[in-house]
Amino acid sequence: MAKLDNIVSLCKRRGFIFPGSDVYGGFAGTWDFGPLGVSLKKKIMDEWWKFFVEDREDMYGIDAAILMNPKTWEASGHTATFADPLVECKECKSRFRADKIADGINESVTTEEFLATHTKCPVCGKESWGPIRKFNMMFMTHVGAVLPDDDQEVAKKGVAYLRPETAQGIFTNYKNIVDTIYPNIPFGLAQQGKAFRNEISPRDFILRDRECTQMEIEYFVDPATWEENFELMRTLHHEFLEDVMGLPKSKIHELEVPAEDRAHYSKRTIDFMFDYPNGEEELMGLAYRTDFDLMNIEKASGKSMAYRDKTTNETFVPHVIEPSIGVERLFLAVLSSAYTEDEIDGEKRTILKLPENLAPFRFCVSPLLKNKPELVEKAHEVYDKLRKKYGNVTWDDSGNIGKRYRKQDEIGTPSCVVVDFDTMSDDTVTVRDRDTTKQTRVKINDL
C-alpha cells in the first residue's frame, strides 16, 4: 500500500497540491490545488454532478451563499452543539482534540475519561492535562461596518459565520424550490461548495483541514418511505464510488454509527470508511435527518415547510436522507488507490493508475526527436487534432522519450502518442499504454 508521505511528495512535485500560502511558510489546515490537482478535482466533482443530478429526473441543483443569516445556525443547532472536545497540555500549552490523541474514547468524552487513558502530550511527552472544554468549530466573522472599538451590542449585531456545511443552504431554499417548481416527492436538492471548520488540530494532509469542498444531497421523502430511500442512496453511492471513481470495493467499509456517536440531527447514520495509507478513515456519511431541519426552520421562521403530495393530496413535512462527501477526502482516496510502484527493466517506476475519466490528461503527444522540424510539425498537427476532439491533451518534448514516459506515468496519463519517422510515410503513431507499457501502431484518424 502507498505511504502517505509518498503521495504528499508526488502531489507537490507534480503540481497536484501545495501547502496553503507556501511562499510565506504555510498556513495550517489549508491547501492550494495546482494545475493537475484542479483538473482531477474538477473531474471528480463533474462526475458526481452528472451521476446524481444530470442523469436523474428526481434531482435538482442549487448554489447557496456561503454567508447566511446567523439565525440559520441557531435553528440548526450548530451554535450550541457544533463543538469538539479540546484539551490543553499544562506544560507546553499545546492544544488538541482529545478524542484524536487518545484511544477508546469519542467526542462526548469527559475530563475523567480522558485522564484515565493516561495519554501523553504528542509535543512534549508529558502527562499534564487541563480539563476538557467544548470548542465550537465555526469561523466567526463580522458583516458590515463593524470597528474594533465598537461596543459589544453593536459588534454582536454584525456577527456572522462561514458555513460549516453546505446542507443548511439547501434546507433554507427548500420552500423556494417547492413554491417554484413543485417537484414530485421524493426529490433531491444537490449542492457543491466550500465549507469551513476551525479544526483544533488539522492533520493527515487533506483528510482533516479547515477549508474544504463538500458535495451534499438532501433527499426529501415521505416519512413512511425513509427506509427504502435510505437503501436507495446507500446503493447509489456504492455504485458511484466503485464504478465511477474506480475505488476498490475491498477498501470501502460501512460503519453503522451508534446513537451516542451520531450527530444531533440524525436518527440513523452509516459512515462509509476507506482504507487510506494512514489507516481506516471516514470517506463519506449517509444520514437520516428525519424532519429535524425543516421543523426547526418552521419554528424559527414561522413559515410552513409542509409539502402536499400530488397523488394522495396528503400534507406533511418531508423527512430527509443526506449523503455527504468531502471532495478532498474522495480526492485522496482516488489518489491512494491509483498510486502504484513497479519495476521496468530493473528501474523503479511510479504510476498513478487513474481511471481514464478522471486522469488530468487523456493523451500526451510528443515528437520522437525535438530537433527534427518535420517530426515536431507533424506532432503539433496530431496534438491540435486530439485537443479539439478530447480537450484534456498535453504536449511534452523535454528530455528523452523514456523520461517523458516516466513523467506521464507519474501524473496518470493513460496513453502517450509519439510521432516518429514512420508517421511521415504511413500516418500511424506509436501509442504507449501507461499500465502495461505496451506499444502499438495506430492510425492517426483512429485515435
Residues 128, 253: one domain? Answer: no
Burial class (CB in 10 A: 0-12, 13-18, 19+), 264: exposed
Q: What is the 3-state secondary structure (H, E, C) of 374-387?
A: HHHHHHHHHHHHHH
pLDDT in tens, 99-118: 889 988 888 899 999 999 99
What is the model's pTM? 0.90
pLDDT in tens, 14-26: 999 999 999 999 9
Looking at 136, 152, 168, the residue that finishes a domain is 136
Residues 381, 285: one domain? Answer: no
Looking at 121, 136, 151, the residue that finishes a domain is 136
pLDDT confidence of residue 262: 85
Residues 190, 290: one domain? Answer: yes
Residues 193, 108: one domain? Answer: no
**Cα–Cα dist 167/190, whole Å:** 9
Residues 91, 227: one domain? Answer: no
pLDDT confidence of residue 309: 93
Residue range of the domain that includes 167: 4-82+137-335
Task: List all residues 6 or more positions away from 292 whose beta carbon is below 8 Å from its beta carbon.
Answer: 265, 320
Residues 398, 409: one domain? Answer: yes
pLDDT in tens, 300-332: 999 999 999 998 999 999 999 999 999 999 999
Residues 75, 205: one domain? Answer: yes
For residue 97, is it within any domain?
yes
pLDDT confidence of residue 346: 81
Residues 176, 310: one domain? Answer: yes
Residues 106, 231: one domain? Answer: no
Regions of the chain short of the pLDDT cut 70: 1, 147-155
Residues 255, 328: one domain? Answer: yes
Q: Is residue 45 within 8 Å of 53, Cβ to Cβ?
A: no
Residues 198, 120: one domain? Answer: no
CATH number for the domain spanning 303: value is 3.30.930.10
Q: Is residue 403 within 8 Å of 385, Cβ to Cβ?
A: no
For residue 329, is it within any domain?
yes
For residue 352, is it within any domain?
no
Q: Is residue 86 within 8 Å of 133, Cβ to Cβ?
A: yes
CATH number for the domain spanning 117: value is 2.20.28
For residue 340, is it within any domain?
no
CATH number for the domain spanning 379: value is 3.40.50.800
pLDDT confidence of residue 150: 67
For residue 354, is it within any domain?
no
Q: Is residue 142 within 8 Å of 67, Cβ to Cβ?
A: no
Number of domains in the chain: 3
For residue 350, is it within any domain?
no
Residues 250, 262: one domain? Answer: yes
And the C-alpha cell for 363?
A: 493523451
Average pLDDT, the chain: 93
Looking at 136, 170, 201, the residue that finishes a domain is 136
